Amino acid sequence: MRPDSKAKIAFELNGEPVEVAFAPHKTLLEVLREDLALTGTKHGCELGECGTCTVLLDGAPVLSCLVLGLACERRRVKTVEGLAQGSRLHPLQEAFAALGAAQCGYCTPAFLLTADALLADNPSPNRDDIKQALSGNLCRCTGYIKIYEAVELAAARLRGEKAEPARESLYGRR
């Protein structure tokens, strides 16, 4: 095959089978955004230095800017578009929205997916676990604090607890 002619792969995207053709040197990031029109996956450097393009590959958060599209044949990819269940937000999305963990919203898809993988692995992470898990995702708006609180809130709700945001995290101390 000529390097520039399109290659076609089949994989599972957000729970559904897809086939897509693209130039073989394209990264998963480019394939998602440009060939599948799923622009929810963002990018901040394309060099693996910020975490903004995070997607889940076979359940693990990876940098889609450094994954070759061709390497995804028959694998399982989850993007931010696959988080909500129908018209119901995922508990992480719900918590991020409630706490203002998304400010500009640009890094948000990546944080949601990294957190999703964390909670699948560890339903009751403590603050340090969360910091470690999210340490490969940069956010310039929030100072991460509302993100931690949102992950904790979502984790509690996913465990079936009736959790609400702490008053202090929404209003500060007065």
Which residues in the 64-123 window bind another protein by CB under 8 A?
Answer: 66-68, 70-71, 79-81, 83-84, 89, 92-94, 96-100, 102-109, 112, 114
11, 27, 31, 78: residue in contact with another protein (rule CB under 8 A): 27
Answer for the pair 79, 13: CB distance below 8 angstroms, yes or no.
yes
Chain residues 4-23 in contact with another protein, contact rule CB under 8 A: 4, 23
In the stretch 29-58, what mask flags binding to another protein with x, by CB under 8 A? Answer: -x--xx--x-xxxxxxxxxxxxxx-x--x-
Alpha carbon distance 38, 130 (integer Å): 27
- Burial code (b: 16+ CB inside 10 Å, e: under 16) for 77-108 equals bbbbebbeeeeeebbbbbbbebbbbbeeeebb
Least distance in Å: CB of 92 to another protein?
A: 8
C-beta of 12 vs 81, nearer to another protein: 81
Residue 69 Cβ vs another protein, minimum distance, rounded to whole Å: 9
Nearer to another protein, 124 or 135 (CB): 135
Residue 59 in contact with residue 117, Cβ under 8 Å? yes
Tell me how crowded residue 29 is: count the other CB atoms within 10 A of its CB: 22
Residue 141 touching another protein (CB under 8 A): yes
Q: Applying CB under 8 A, does 153 fall inside the site for another protein?
A: no
Q: Which residue has the tokens 């060939």?
A: 35
Question: DSSP state, 89?
Answer: P
